[in-house]
Structure formats: C-alpha cells, structure tokens
Amino acid sequence: MQADPFQSFARFIIKQYPDTPQIHEAEKHPVYLLTFGADLDIHLIGSQSGYLNLVATFPAPKAWLELDGLRALLAENIFSLQHPQIILGLDAASGKLVLSLRQPLAELSDESVLSLFEAFLRQAIDLHSGKILPPSTTSAESSREPLSKTRLQVTNNPSSLKEKSRA
C-alpha cells in the first residue's frame, strides 16, 4: 500500500517542532493543529484529495480591524506573484485574521514542504505580532484623489491616430 503524501508531509513538519505532541504512525487524521504561543493556530489540512491546505488563525491586531486595514487585506488578495498565494481574511465574529494557502501534494518534497510551511508560519507570526501592519492612514488619505485627476502624462501615437481617421 502506497503511503499517503499528506500524512508523510504532516508528520515531517510536526517532527520539526519538538514542543508539539508527536503522532503515532498508526494514527491518521485529516487535520493536524499546531499552536504557537498562546493564540496562533496553524492547521495542516489534508481532507481535500491531492492538496495540502494550511490555515492560520489568530487575533487580529487592532490596525487590521480598521477601515484601512480591511482595505489592505482585500488588496493583498487581488494579485500576487507568490506561489502558492496566501489568501488573507477576517472572521468578523471572532475578530481573528485567517491566512490560507493550498498547494498540490504532487508539487511538494520534504524540503519544499518544510520551506513552504516555514514561510507561511513566518508571515502568520509577523502579522500576529504587528510586524506587518496595514499602510498608515496618513499615506492612504493623501492618495485619495478622484480617479479622473491623474498625473500621468498622456501621449498619442501618431500612427494609430492616422489609422483611426481612415476608417
């Protein structure tokens, strides 16, 4: 019988953290929970066949709960060159930030799954600790001019103007 890649990767990650209770080989769970500090939880989720899902939850620093913080969270989800992309969210009922990512198991090795997990954990820790905060409200207010008043220089391409006038 072939080993379940999710179980192998989850065990490999958990072994890197000696303070975490280790899992007996016979135990197989679809979700594993690692807690860092008092309130930063990382869920390793393998219930979606062929994928590793990582989800972090922690109390949101106050700056993220304000309007500019919420806008910054939404802006982060629009586009990212990072793969896999970390999606940010907010559980309004609990006031917790939620980070998640999904990565195909077939694209992972022991080395890559560990670096993926550590990068994900680092971002969660930085957001939780306030090391990463939304842009300040002063910089956001200064850039809130109507979109029609752009400062970009507009130039016309002469060849495209000629083609349009022929039609």
Picking from 137, 147, 110, 121, the residue whose alpha carbon sits closest to that of residue 3 is 110
68-121, pLDDT tens digit by residue?
999 988 888 887 788 899 999 999 899 999 999 999 999 999 999 999 999 999
DSSP code string of 44-58: EE--STTEEEEEEEE
pTM above 0.75, yes or no: yes
123-132, pLDDT tens digit by residue?
999 999 989 8
Q: Which CATH code, of 3.40.50.2300, 3.30.420.280, 3.30.1460.10, 3.40.50.300, is assigned to 5-166? A: 3.30.1460.10
18 is written with which tokens?
């000696």
Burial group, residue 70, by CB count within 10 angstroms (0-12, 13-18, 19+): middle
Residue ranges per structural domain of the chain:
5-166
Question: What's phi and psi for 148, nearest 5 deg?
Answer: -70, -20
